[in-house]
Amino acid sequence: MSASRKSLLALVPVVLVAPPAHAATYLTVEQAQALMFPGETLTPAFRPLSNADVAAIRKASGVSPLSRQLKAWRSARGGWLIVDQVVGKHEFITFAVALDASGAVRSVEIMDYRESYGDQVRNPKWRAQFAGKRNGAALQLDKDIKNISGATLSCRHVIDGVKRLLATYAIVLAG
Amino acid sequence: MTGNRIAIGIAAVATALSTPAMAGEPLFGYVYTTDVMPKGKTEIEQWVTLREDQANGHFHDVKLRTEVEHGITDNFQISGYLNSSYISANRNSVNGTTEGLDIPPAHDPARPYNKFRFDTVSAEMIWRVMSPYKKPFGLAFYVEPEIGPHERAIELKVIAQKNFLDDRLVLAANAFVEFEHEEQDGEVEKATQLEFDAGASYRFRPNWSFGLEYRNHNEFVGYTLGHGSQEHTAHFVGPNIHYGSQKWFFTLSALYQIHAKGYNDEQRDNIVNGRIYGDEHTRWDGIRLKIGRVF
């Protein structure tokens, strides 16, 4: 191997040992519960998703679940809190959706966001567009939910994530 | 400048960029995607490209490019480049002399050549007309004028991108034409390059993507693209790996010349085992590292 090639390859370990990204955690699960269901007691109702569940969710929402474990909590008044992830530009975006007893969105919170830009999806006005949406709502970018220029990938993936969780509620939890 | 000095310099830059938490983007070494910087965001990139091995002896061409990118709007990005290179060659040509690719014509072909030189400054503008995150595919147009002591050129490029699997699988294709005017030791060369590039990159785990890319490079005499003025066509293929996170990224790619064809005697004379050398290409063309920091 030539000296120049050795020199270039010698750089590889330098970049590979660079420190990992620092996670930007905005809400823990406990904080999300307190924020989205203030004063209510939540009971864990985790459950695995079967192959049939995954297929039905994919068919209903057009999006496949990333995890086979549904992280859901039931509120004393019949509401649901679901914590899940969507694909970000480089890492996963962790988000929480609160549903009322009828299955309509009460609120959406971004819990972890680690990307270099696009964190405008944390904007409360943008997230407020999801309030009242139910399974079956089109939730199309720039039609039902406005896009944020410069944060398009994150907007689209969070929209797809909410759409998927509304289908998950209807298929797995509402029954 | 020696290879070790270059390596130390780049390592220092890499270390400096590694300090804070890290994301930015070129997924490929050569293929462009339609991603541009959002409005008001800036990114600095350092490229090191090694064009390695010709027909005989040794040939190392280390190209350095320092780039600053800035988003003017969410769909229009401008960049500025500083381009320089270090060439170390000895008996690299088909006939065993020291001459060819970027070696000045006045150099004594019986002696080794080792020189660092400033090449050009260039500007780049990318206008994205369709985002792959909102439309069925992405589409962008690219213009890069370039000027230096020995060279003037302008490159025009079309970039297409299609994403799959929650945007984790990215397919991209480029077509570009570059008109260049080179003048060195009294010799003037006018040429047109036409290139088709394509690549696929898959994000196999958070932050990490792996892919393949392909280049088909065609060169023509003068400023026409007719087959009668075509000098050669060459094909390159190789893998790439990309790491991107919140504030920094790197991409490493290695393209290997797999086949070339010459269209005149001079070009054919520079083809050995199906690969073209001479003034045109190297066996590894090239091994490219990009390191960037997003602000």
Helices A51-61 and A152-168 pack at an angle, to 10 degrees, of 130
Nearest chain A Cα distance for residue B257, angstroms: 16
Nearest chain A Cα distance for residue B228, angstroms: 38
Cα separation of A102 and B97, whole Å?
Answer: 82
Residues in chain B closer than 8 A to A150 (CB atoms)? 38-39, 41, 71, 74
Cα separation of B36 and B20, whole Å?
Answer: 22
Nearest chain A Cα distance for residue B275, angstroms: 20
For residue A147, give the chain B residue with the closest CA: B134
Do the Cβ atoms of B246 and A115 come within 8 Å? yes
Do the Cβ atoms of A116 and B88 come within 8 Å? no
Residue B273 is predicted with a pLDDT of 95
On the question of a cis peptide bond just before residue A132, with omega within 30 degrees of 0, the verdict is: no
Residues in chain B closer than 8 A to A10 (CB atoms)? 7, 11
Q: Which of B59, B63, B38, B164 is nearest to B103 (CA)?
A: B59
Q: Which residues of B161-190 are buried (b: 16+ CB within 10 A; e: fewer)?
A: bebeebbebbbbbbebbbbbebeeeeeeee
For the stretch A75-119, pLDDT in tens is: 999 999 999 999 998 889 999 999 999 999 999 999 999 887 778
A93 phi/psi in degrees, rounded to 5: -105, 120
Whether A10 contacts chain B with CB within 8 A: yes
Q: What are the tokens at B2? A: 């020696």
Q: What is the distance between the terminal CA atoms of chain A, rounded to a whole angstrom?
A: 65
Residue ranges in chain B modelled with pLDDT below 70: 1-24
For residue B293, give the chain A residue with the closest CA: A116
Nearest chain A Cα distance for residue B227, angstroms: 36
Whether A1 contacts chain B with CB within 8 A: no
For the stretch A125-154, pLDDT in tens is: 999 999 999 998 989 898 899 999 888 999
Q: Which of A171, A147, A86 is nearest to B134 (CA)?
A: A147
Q: What are the tokens at B92? A: 């690299």
Do the Cβ atoms of B244 and A15 come within 8 Å? no
Residue A23 is predicted with a pLDDT of 52
Count of A-B CB contacts under 8 Å: 128
For residue A141, give the chain B residue with the closest CA: B134
Under the banding of pLDDT at 50, 70 and 90, the label for residue A24 is confident
Q: Which amino acid is at B232?
A: H
Residues in chain A closer than 8 A to B53 (CB atoms)? 2
User: Which of A12, A15, A16 is best to mutate for the B interface (most B CBs within 10 A)?
Assistant: A15
Whether B116 contacts chain A with CB within 8 A: no
Cα separation of A98 and B246, whole Å?
Answer: 28
Residues in chain A closer than 8 A to B15 (CB atoms)? 14
Q: Is the ipTM of this complex over 0.90?
A: no
Q: What is the distance between the terminal CA atoms of chain B, rounded to a whole angstrom?
A: 31
For residue A11, give the chain B residue with the closest CA: B11
Of A4, A19, A24, the CB nearest to B18: A19
